[in-house]
Amino acid sequence: MATIISGKELSAKLKAALAEEVKTFPARYGRVPHLVVILVGEDPGSVSYVTGKAKACEAVGIRNTTLRRSVDITEEELLSLIRDLNADPEVDGILVQLPLPRHISEAKVIETISREKDVDGFHPLNVAALWQKQPCVLPCTPKGIIKMLKEAGVSLAGKRAVVIGRSNIVGLPVAKLLLDENATVTIAHSRTQNLAELTRSAEILVVAIGRPKFVTADMVGEGAVVIDVGVNRDPETGKLCGDVDYAAVEPKASVITPVPGGVGPMTITCLMENTVECFKARF
Ligand code: GUN
C-alpha cells in the first residue's frame, strides 16, 4: 500500500494559512492582491482551470478578474491588453491561460507580461533566474510538486529522479527544482529509447506527458515515489485520469499522487502564493 499524497488536503491547509495572511493586508497595505486571468477561447479544459483559479482566489481573499476573449482576438489586441494590465497599479498578477490559438505567439505573450506580474514564472527573466538559482517566482506546478514531496517526507538528495516530459511549464522546471534538491535527474521524452528500463530505475518518477494511463506497472520500480501531473479523460470511461495507470501502479509505489486531487490543486494553491508574493514585492 502506497502513501497517497492528497494535494487537496495540503492545498486546503496552505490556502487557509494564506487566507489568514491576506486578511491582514487591507490594514497593512490598504488593499488585497489582485490577480487577472485572461482566457482566450472556450477550450473546456482551460475553462475548468480558470474557474478553479477564481474559486481559489475567493477562498484566499484575493481579488480576481477573469477576462474572457474570443478565439478570434488578434495577437496585437491581446498584447495591448497585457500592456494595459502591466501599467495598471491595481493589478498585481497577470496569467494568460495556455495554450493559445495558433495565430498567437505564446512566446510574445509571455515576454510581454511584466516580470513583476508574472505569477506563472514563465517570463524569460524568471526562467533565467530559476536556472541561475537567483530569486524568482517559481512555476506553479513544479513548486507544488516539491511541496508535496516535502510534505510526504520524501528525501531527494542523491536519489535517482526521472521526469517524463520536457515542457517549459512542467518538465524542464521540475527537473531543475529536483536538481536543486540534489537529486540525480534524467529527463525522458517521446524520443527516449528503452523508456521502461529507464523509468524502472527511478526512485522518484514525475510524469508530465499528457497521455492517459501512459505509465503502466511494468514501468515502475518497487517502492518508487510516483508523481502524476496528467489531467486527461480516460477514453474508455470518460472519467478524469492521470498519465499513470493508478490502479496498477499504486501497489508497487511507496508514495503516489492521485488524479484528481493530487498535483492539480497544488498548482492552483501555488498560484495563490505567487500572487501574494508579487503583491508584496510591489510595496
Ligand atoms: N496551462 C496549463 N498549465 C498552465 C499554467 O500553469 N499556467 C498557464 N498560464 N497556463 C497553463
Domains belonging to the chain, first-starting first, are 29-115 (3.40.50.10860), 140-264 (3.40.50.720)
Say if ligand 1 is within 6 A of residue 12 CB. Answer: no
Distance CA 138, CA 142 (A): 8
User: pLDDT digit string (tens) for 122-150?
Assistant: 999 999 999 999 999 999 999 999 999 99
pLDDT band at 204 (very low <50, low <70, confident <90, very high): very high
Residue 92 is a catalytic residue: no
Q: How many CB atoms lie within 10 A of CB 119?
A: 29
Pocket test for ligand 1, best of 95, 104, 270, 274 (most atoms within 8 A of CB): 95
CA-to-CA separations, 108 to 37, 113, 123, 182, 225, in angstroms, rounded: 17, 9, 10, 33, 37
Residue 99 pLDDT > 90: yes
Mean pLDDT throughout 153-169? 98
Residue 260 pLDDT > 90: yes
Residue 23 is a catalytic residue: no
Q: What pLDDT does residue 282 have?
A: 97
Over pLDDT 90: what percentage of the chain?
Answer: 100
Say if ligand 1 is within 6 A of residue 112 CB. Answer: no
Rounded to the nearest angstrom, the distance between the alpha carbon of 221 and the centre of ligand 1 is: 30
- Pair 120, 143: CB distance under 8 Å: no
Residue having the nearest C-alpha atom to atom 9 of ligand 1: 97
Over pLDDT 70: what percentage of the chain?
Answer: 100
Mean pLDDT throughout 60-74? 98
Residue 1 pLDDT > 90: no
Q: What pLDDT does residue 118 have?
A: 98
Q: What pLDDT does residue 124 have?
A: 98
Mean pLDDT throughout 153-163? 98
pLDDT band at 115 (very low <50, low <70, confident <90, very high): very high
User: pLDDT digit string (tens) for 233-244?
Assistant: 999 999 999 999
Say if ligand 1 is within 6 A of residue 47 CB. Answer: no
Of 97, 118, 159, 213, catalytic:
97
Task: Provide the mean pLDDT of the chain.
Answer: 98
- Pair 19, 275: CB distance under 8 Å: no
Residue 53 is a catalytic residue: yes
- Secondary structure (H, E, C), the chain: CCEECCHHHHHHHHHHHHHHHHHCHHHHHCCCCEEEEEEECCCHHHHHHHHHHHHHHHHHCCEEEEEEECCCCCHHHHHHHHHHHHHCCCCCEEEECCCCCCCCCHHHHHHHCCHHHECCCCCHHHHHHHHCCCCCCCCHHHHHHHHHHHHCCCCCCCCEEEEECCCCCCHHHHHHHHHHCCCEEEEECCCCCCHHHHHHCCCEEEECCCCCCCECHHHCCCCCEEEECCCEECCCCCCEECCECHHHHCCCCCEECCCCCCHHHHHHHHHHHHHHHHHHHCC
24, containing H or E segment: none
Rounded to the nearest angstrom, the distance between the alpha carbon of 46 and the centre of ligand 1 is: 8
